[in-house]
Amino acid sequence: MIKGVILSILASCLFGLLYYYPVLLQPLSVVDIFCWRLLTSFPAIVILILIEKQWSAIHSLFIRIKLQPLLLLGLLFSSVLLTIQMMIFIWAPLNGHGLSASLGYFLLPLSMVIFGQLFYKEKLSFLQKIAVGIAVLGVSIEIYTTGAFSWETAVIALGYPIYFITRRKLQIEGIAGTFSDFFFIFLGCFIYFTFHYDLHKTINDLNLYHIYIPMLGVITAIAFAMYFVARRLLPMGLFGLLGYVEPVLLTIVSVLFLHESVSSEHIISYSLIWLAVCVLTLEGGIFILRALKRKRIR
């Protein structure tokens, strides 16, 4: 279990590094950085799948597509949803919206709880109801004081649950879904490069960023590798709880390295949302302790 915890935290640290990484690739555009990331990371993810001996899951997906051709439309839609999220992940730190995006990741567990209740009739626990209530109050104050709610925060907090629901509906959760999403995005990036890049521009980018571009793919692949192994080693509750490490790191990156700060008009609403996350974390900790206690009794 300790190994799983360490790998999960290291994966979050690498994703935190990737949050700052676009700054190192300036003045490349957001789309260029995004495409370089996919073009360098997809081959590494394929190698990862082979090392993990998970190719049977990919083969089963190909058989499903052959038997259900319309499944391709669903897979394309899933990859589009993930593309939007990955683009925001690059765009936000480059445009002074790192904190707004990290707030979306803080809200994500809460929005997942709400979507689970709405679409799967999952019952909310007492602490979950309190957390949701505090978060709704925080969002309401944010809208009242600023007259709006950051679109990037909303897209992350609402977009990811739609993405996960889509994958669940298509029954492509796990490594097969990750391969499918990255494969279609990789094709899109390859087409973009074909029409917008020539040999001179490609060589120029690689000369200017001869270390940073290859490392972008390597870091992405290693982060996913650690993530997959941690998910296999850890109980679901503990794995979900460790998911809060990443938005904390993204906030730290935004404040310390991107030099962003929370303005006075956001302090109350942000504090309430972070408090709501703390309540969910408390519930997760109680759940894990009870599970460990039951395990010892047996």
Q: What is the pLDDT of residue 242?
A: 79
- How many domains does the chain fold into? 1
- The number of beta carbons lying within 10 Å of the beta carbon of residue 70 is 8
Give the least confident one: 15-19, 67-71, 108-112, 149-153. Answer: 108-112
Q: What is the pLDDT of residues 266-277, one digit of tens each?
A: 888 889 988 988
Mean pLDDT of the chain: 87
Which amino acid type is present at position 67? L
Preceding amide of 109 cis, omega within 30: no
Identify the band that residue 237 occupies on the pLDDT scale cut at 50, 70 and 90: low
Q: Percentage helix, strand, coil, to 5, in the chain?
A: 85, 0, 15
Q: What is the secondary structure of 179-230 as a DSSP string?
A: HHHHHHHHHHHHHHHHHH--HHHHHHHHHHTTTHHHHHHHHHHHHHHHHHHH
Q: What is the pLDDT of residues 156-187, one digit of tens each?
A: 999 999 998 998 899 887 788 889 999 999 99
pLDDT, mean of residues 102-119: 86
Joined together, the tokens standing for residue 114 give: 């709400």
Residue 293 predicted with pLDDT over 80: no
Residue 228 predicted with pLDDT over 80: no
Identify the band that residue 298 occupies on the pLDDT scale cut at 50, 70 and 90: low
Give the least confident one: 91-95, 167-171, 231-235, 244-248. Answer: 231-235
Q: What is the pLDDT of residue 10?
A: 93
Residue 202, domain extent: 2-297
**pTM, 2 dp:** 0.87
